[in-house]
Structures are given as structure tokens and as C-alpha cells.
Chains A and B, each alone.
Chain A
Amino acid sequence: MMIKKLLAAGIGLAMMTGTALAGEVKIGFITTLTTPAGIIGKDMKKAIELAVEQMGGKMGGLDVNLIIEDDGFKPDIGKQKTDKLVKQDNVDFVAGYIWSHVLLASRKSVLDAGKFLISSNAGPSPIAGKLCNKNFFSTSWQNDQTPMAMGEVLNQKKVKSIYIIAPNYAAGKNIVAGVERTYKGKIVGRDMTRWPQQLDFSAELAKASASGAEAIFIFYPGKAGGAFFKQYEQAGLRGKIPLYSVFTVDSIALGKFQKANMQGVLGSQMTNFWAPDLDTPQNKKFVSAFKKKYGTYPSFYAAQSYDSMFLIKSAVDAVNGDLSKKDEMRAAMRSASFPSVRGKFTYGKNGMPIQNFYLREVTKDADGVWTTRIVSKVYENHQDPYVGECKP
């Protein structure tokens, strides 16, 4: 009897803490804070904390309550944490998600509860197509878009054949599909490697080298990217077969590369929707504040996360803090009227940005710090190829 009473009290208490306090907007943020990939999550965390700080901790007159959770780089844990945010914390928005498989596992928990889901990185194809939802918005890109831009760059450079090496998971497959969608030359070989365990690419590099391909295309986010670059150098392929990548070289990796003096990375080219030197007012404000506060360049993960917070703010501002007005909040986000680091863009009906993509390369800045800078614009207002499958 006593136990039952205690349980009832406990549940009651849980429900009370679950309901949002008046005057507060709760934002759940799922990212990876443990495992070596945790370094990405930390960069994202820095960016959202900077954004909230710049907002004075307020959105639409409400106090911002950020709840950051760690997915441990695992879809099952990501889903558990998402459930916790939705059911226990009763957040108003769930944002974040580095990994496509984590987002795919977690999306239902958020969307079924009628809450807003904001991806700050992952952009798996089903979410842009068949599984699209009116309450989903991305402040990054759909996975295929960046490699599609890279395919276009390879066409422009008249590269006749490529060898593709990418990890065997949701995003890896999208990235490969993306580059193959636009690249017009020959694909002489394709290796999908174990993810995330495999860090030794000796067998794949030997195959690529023997294939006679003119270039190698890779996608390796996090520590696998650094490992790949090193082994590519050690195999003596630099100067023989140029290496093109997407989402592999970022400010996090570059710090490490510079420390190890991996000169071969300088000049390396990739496509991205953003670079630290992108000339927009919001980006200048973001990059300089980030460098001032944390002493390093922000990564693209950070830029996207920063945008997520301003997207959410635009929704809360539009209803003056009345979080019950979901339709108006959705309309405000759909208009993409917030100041974005990428400049002006629009949203497709699937919540994916229609935006520019750039070719960027690794270079030294005025202080000798390795960073990326924009070389040219590859796509203007580019929309993902899955929007046609989206029937909201």
C-alpha cells in the first residue's frame, strides 16, 4: 500500500516537472558527446550556447531552457534520449542529430508527439521524401546535395573516372547516390566500408590505386577522415590520384592535421553549403564571436547548430512566446526569415533548405591557422532530389 502511494506520488511529481514552467521555452538537443565523435558534439554545443547567449537567453520573451543529451553515436540510445526529451522533459522543440541513422530511429518519437523536429546536421533521404513531415525542418542539407555539387565539380574539372570509398550506412549510401547522380564520368569502383569500426583503409586504397581511376572520392566524417587522409599519403597516392571529399575535412579535423603537420591536406578541395569566410552579415557575426569565445574556427556542424537556434527563435518570436500556436510557429519557420549564416534561402515543402553550394579548399589564414575558404559557387538555390516523393 505504502509502495503504491509512493509510486503514485512519484508519477505525479514526474508529471508536474514534465509540464513546462510558464515563461520558458524548452529545447532538447541530441548530439554525440562521448566516443571520439564527441568532439563534433562539443563544437555543436558551443555554437548553440553562443547563440542563446547572444539572444540574452530569451526567445519571444520566454527564458530558453536548453536540455542537451548524448546519443553515444548509437541509434538505440539516440531514440531513448529523444523519448526522454519528449515524454519526460516535454520539450517544445527537439533539435540536433549528427547521424542519419540516429535521426531515422528518433524521428517518430518527436513527430508523433506533434512536436517540432529540427535537424542540425543529418539529412537522410527518407526524411526528405516518403517520410517527410510538416513539423520537420533542417538547418543543414539533404545528404545527397553536397556530393551532387562535388559530382558537378568533377565534371567541370573534366575528371574522366573516379573510385568511390564511403562508409556503409544510411548517410554513406546517400552520399554515394548523390555524387553518382550528377557525375558524368566513369565510376571504376566503389567500396562501402564497415561503419564506424573500420579505420584502416589499406585494402581499399590498394584497390583504388590499381583501378586506374583518375581521382578518389570519399566521405568520412569524424576521426575516420583523418585516418583516411594519412593512409592516402602513406600509400604515396598524393600527386598520383587526387582526393576529393565531402564532410571529411572540417575545422575540427584541420586543428589535428595542422598539429601533426600533414601538409598534404593543404589545397584539398570539397563542397559545402558554408565556409567560415562566407560573406553574410550573420556569418561574420557568428565566426568572429565563436573565435573570440572559443579560440578556434567553428565547424560546419557548429554553423548549422547556430542556425537551428535562430530558426527556433524566429518561431517563438512570431507568436510572442505563445507556444500553443503551432500553426503560426510552423509558418514562421517555413518562411526561413531568420538571419542565417548562409544568407537568404528558402524551404522546400519537405523542410529541406533550397540553398547555394560552394567549392571550398583548405588554406592558411592570415595567422597561419589552417581553415577552408570558398573557391567558387557550384549551385545556386539547389533543391534536394527527393522532394517529389514528399506528400505532406
Chain B
Amino acid sequence: MPPFIQTAKIPMDLTLLTIQFMNGLQLGVLLFMLAAGLSLTFGIMDLVNLAHGSFYMAGAFISASIIFWTGSFVWGVLLAIPLVGLLGLVTEFLVIRHLYSRSHLDHVLATFGIILVFDSLVHIFWGSNGISVPLPVWLDGQVEIFTGMVFPTFRLVIIITGLLMAVGLYILVNHTRLGMLIRAGASDRTMVSALGINIQLLFAMVFTLGAVLAAIAGMLIAPITEASIGMGGQIIITAFVVVVIGGVGSMKGAFVAAMLVGLIDTLGRSYLDDLFKLVMSPGAAETAAPAISAMAIYILMAAILAVRPQGLFPPKVR
């Protein structure tokens, strides 16, 4: 048996750290796209939407099909967005609309049902095998950001898209009439409807916006992993953590928390085992590191909840 060569030095070299930082950023913006919609529906409509991840999955599958049909990744994404928006509207009209006046437990039940329906629909239309989504050549390569530092082009595209969407949401929420209503809704729902705002329309729009954001995240992740049944179920838990850390209903909170969670997760995967090796055997460190790094974001959530139960940036006046 060969000796396990202990990497004595902690690989702290700057290039690797920068790359890991960008990997964390990429995970962060993806989580933001999911958490933004979740936070909006939870904060404004007081709706616990477990099925948010289903739109993430729907986005991945619908865009994958269009990509294979048109042969173009860009068309796949652009054409899938209105389709997913329609799906969001229909879901809101058929199911979600009837839940607003009901208890959270009913929300959980109904939206869990939606998950099952979406999973079955995907099963019927696309089968249980996932779809591997190809990237066009110009997205499939790498870019050299600094000399010696190469980064996958597509991950860079995800970061840029995510940041642009964050800016877009910032403008929408803070500088438009719709945003004003959204903020007002997050602060005091009853007052907004009392002032004669068509709250039903507002809710439908917010829900659809959230669904589309989640679907875009799904479209962007599919070429990295694949479109598969249940893909939303795994990431939605992390997205809920982001919402709780950031403060329910707050876009700024969702953004900061998503970045925080993305970075902690990625840097934990990158460096935790090396850190553990300083105090325990390599074998134990390698087993413990993924377990602890998986827990890290929950530990962070628990710590933040203990100090600031309302999250980092709660919307003003609740």
C-alpha cells in the first residue's frame, strides 16, 4: 500500500483561492435567483412555497428540450422563459390563489402536492433518465482572467447573469411602482389592499416573477449538472436557509445571504479538510470535512437566528 502523501502545506496560493472564491460566487448568485422568488412569495404573500424548486426543474427541462429542438442554447433559454412564466401563472391561478387565506400547514400540503405533480409530469414527458444539456462552443471553453488563472466561461456567464438580475431586481423593487407595491406588501399586506390595490394581480405577478427567476437558475445549472427529476428538492432547502438568514421578504438580505452561503459552502469544501488535517488523521479529516462543510450553512443559520431572529436584513416595520 503506498503511503498517503500528506500535503503538508495548506495550498493557500492566491490563484486557487481566487478561483474558489469565484466558484463560491457562482453558487451564490444561483442561490440568489432561487431565494429571491422564495423570499418574495414568503415575505409578501406569506406563502410557504415548497414547490419553488419545481420551477427550477421545469426551467431546466423545458429549456433542454428547446435547446435540442432549435440547436441553440440562447434560443432555448429565451423561449423557455415565457413558457415558464405561463406555467407560473397557471399554477398560481389553479392552486396557489386558493391558499392565501389558509394556514401555513395547508400551504405545505398543497405545494408538496405540486412537487409530486411536477415530478410526475416530467416523468411522463421526459422519462426518468435525466437530460445532459450541451453548451455551444463559445460557452464551453475557459477564459483566462489573469495570467495562469483560467475559469470556465459558462460559470463566468452565470455569475454575470446573476449579478445583472440582482441589479435588475434592485431597480424593480426600489425604483418602480410595482416595486413600491411589493415593498408595501412586504411591510403591511392588509394596508395595501385596503388602499385599493388589486392585491390578487400583484400576488400573481410576484409569484410568476419568482417562478421565472427559479426557472432561469435551473436553465443555467442544467449544462453544468443535468436536468433531472427531483433536482429542485435538493437545492430548495439551501434556498430556504438563505431566505431565513437574509430576512424573510428582503431582496438585499437574500443577496447577501446567498453570497455568504455560496462562499461558505465552496470554501468549506476547498479548505476544511486541509484545516482538519492539522488536528486529526488524514483519513478522519477526509470523512469529517464533507460532513462538517455540509453542516456549516446550518450552523451559520442557527447562529444568526440566535442573535438576530428576524434575519440579517428584515424588511422595515413588520
Q: Closest CB-CB distance, A140 to chain B, in whole Å?
A: 22
Q: What is the bound-complex CA distance between A264 and B5, given in angstroms?
A: 30
Q: What is the bound-complex CA distance between A260 and B19, given in angstroms?
A: 27
Question: Within 8 Å CB of A35, what residues of B?
Answer: 229-230
Nearest to A42 among chain B residues (CB) is: B128
Question: Within 8 Å CB of B266, what residues of A?
Answer: 202-203
> Which of B11, B140, B270, B290 is within 8 Å of A194, CB to CB?
B290
Question: Within 8 Å CB of A194, what residues of B?
Answer: 290-291, 293-294
Question: Within 8 Å CB of B5, what residues of A?
Answer: 186-188
Contact B152 A186 (CB under 8 A): no
Contact A235 B152 (CB under 8 A): yes
Query: A234: CB under 8 A from chain B?
Result: yes
Q: What is the bound-complex CA distance between A52 and B33, given in angstroms?
A: 50
Q: What is the bound-complex CA distance between A42 and B289, given in angstroms?
A: 34
Question: Within 8 Å CB of B269, what residues of A?
Answer: 191, 193, 203-204
Question: Within 8 Å CB of B282, what residues of A?
Answer: 190
Identify which of B34-42, B44-52, B76-84, B220-228 touches chain A. Answer: B220-228
Query: B54: CB under 8 A from chain A?
Result: no
Contact A227 B287 (CB under 8 A): no
Contact A223 B225 (CB under 8 A): yes
> Which of A39, A207, A230 is within 8 Å of B223, CB to CB?
A230
Q: Please encode chain A, from 221 to 249, with 1 for each CB lying within 8 Å of some chain B CB and 0 for all others.
A: 00100110011011110000000000000
Of listed B131, B223, B226, B294, residue having the most chain A CB within 10 A: B226
Contact A202 B155 (CB under 8 A): yes
Contact A230 B132 (CB under 8 A): yes
* Chain B residues numbered 100-158 whose CB sits less than 8 Å from any CB in chain A: 128-135, 140-142, 150, 152-155
Query: B1: CB under 8 A from chain A?
Result: yes
Query: A183: CB under 8 A from chain B?
Result: yes
Nearest to A207 among chain B residues (CB) is: B270
| Contact A234/B129 with A180-B1, A191-B273, A210-B11 known, Cβ cut-off 8 Å | no
* Chain B residues numbered 77-101 whose CB sits less than 8 Å from any CB in chain A: none
Query: A8: CB under 8 A from chain B?
Result: no
Question: Within 8 Å CB of B225, what residues of A?
Answer: 199-200, 223, 226-227, 230
* Chain A residues numbered 242-269 whose CB sits less than 8 Å from any CB in chain B: 252, 255-257, 259-262
Contact B23 A203 (CB under 8 A): yes
Q: What is the bound-complex CA distance between A34 and B208, given in angstroms?
A: 29
Query: B16: CB under 8 A from chain A?
Result: yes
Question: Within 8 Å CB of B223, what residues of A?
Answer: 230
* Chain B residues numbered 235-259 whose CB sits less than 8 Å from any CB in chain A: none
Contact A197 B234 (CB under 8 A): yes
Q: What is the bound-complex CA distance between A226 and B226, given in angstroms?
A: 8
| Contact A187/B2 with A168-B287, A200-B225 known, Cβ cut-off 8 Å | yes
Query: A211: CB under 8 A from chain B?
Result: yes
Contact B16 A206 (CB under 8 A): yes
Contact A193 B290 (CB under 8 A): yes
Query: B26: CB under 8 A from chain A?
Result: yes
Query: A375: CB under 8 A from chain B?
Result: no
Q: What is the bound-complex CA distance between A173 and B283, given in angstroms?
A: 10
Question: Within 8 Å CB of A207, what residues of B?
Answer: 11, 16, 270
Contact B23 A236 (CB under 8 A): no
| Contact A39/B230 with A203-B269, A210-B16, A234-B140 known, Cβ cut-off 8 Å | no
Nearest to A261 among chain B residues (CB) is: B134
Query: A326: CB under 8 A from chain B?
Result: no
Query: A38: CB under 8 A from chain B?
Result: yes
Query: B4: CB under 8 A from chain A?
Result: yes
Question: Within 8 Å CB of A173, what residues of B?
Answer: 287
Query: A189: CB under 8 A from chain B?
Result: yes
| Contact A236/B150 with A194-B290, A256-B129 known, Cβ cut-off 8 Å | yes
How many residues from A make CB contacts under 8 Å with B?
Answer: 50
Of listed A199, A203, A204, A262, residue having the most chain B CB within 10 A: A203
Q: Closest CB-CB distance, A155 to chain B, in whole Å?
A: 10
Nearest to B265 among chain A residues (CB) is: A203
Query: A369: CB under 8 A from chain B?
Result: no
| Contact A234/B2 with A189-B7, A226-B130 known, Cβ cut-off 8 Å | no
* Chain B residues numbered 290-308 whose CB sits less than 8 Å from any CB in chain A: 290-291, 293-294
> Which of A190, A197, A203, A256 is within 8 Å of B132, CB to CB?
A256
| Contact A202/B130 with A180-B2, A236-B142 known, Cβ cut-off 8 Å | no
Q: What is the bound-complex CA distance between A226 and B23, given in angstroms?
A: 19
Query: A184: CB under 8 A from chain B?
Result: yes
Question: Within 8 Å CB of A230, what residues of B?
Answer: 132, 223-226
Question: Within 8 Å CB of A9, what residues of B?
Answer: none
Query: A388: CB under 8 A from chain B?
Result: no
Nearest to B68 among chain A residues (CB) is: A259
Query: A115: CB under 8 A from chain B?
Result: no
| Contact A227/B224 with A190-B286, A193-B290, A234-B152 known, Cβ cut-off 8 Å | yes
Query: A185: CB under 8 A from chain B?
Result: yes
Question: Within 8 Å CB of B140, what residues of A?
Answer: 233-234
Of listed B16, B20, B269, B293, residue having the most chain A CB within 10 A: B269
A-B contact pairs, 29 of them (CB 8 A): A35-B230, A36-B129, A36-B229, A36-B231, A168-B291, A190-B4, A191-B269, A193-B269, A193-B290, A194-B291, A194-B293, A197-B234, A202-B23, A202-B152, A203-B23, A203-B270, A210-B13, A230-B223, A230-B225, A234-B142, A234-B153, A234-B224, A236-B150, A236-B152, A257-B132, A260-B132, A260-B133, A262-B132, A262-B134
Residues of chain A whose beta carbon lies under 8 Å from any beta carbon of chain B: 34-36, 38-39, 42, 168, 173, 180-181, 183-194, 197-200, 202-204, 206-207, 210-211, 223, 226-227, 230-231, 233-236, 252, 255-257, 259-262
- Taking A168-B286, A202-B26 as known contacts, 9 extra A-B pairs with beta carbons closer than 8 A to each other, sorted by chain A number, are A36-B130, A185-B2, A194-B291, A206-B20, A210-B19, A223-B225, A234-B154, A235-B150, A260-B131
Residues of chain B whose beta carbon lies under 8 Å from any beta carbon of chain A: 1-2, 4-5, 7, 11, 13, 15-16, 19-20, 23, 26-27, 68, 128-135, 140-142, 150, 152-155, 223-226, 228-231, 234, 266-267, 269-270, 273, 282, 286-287, 289-291, 293-294
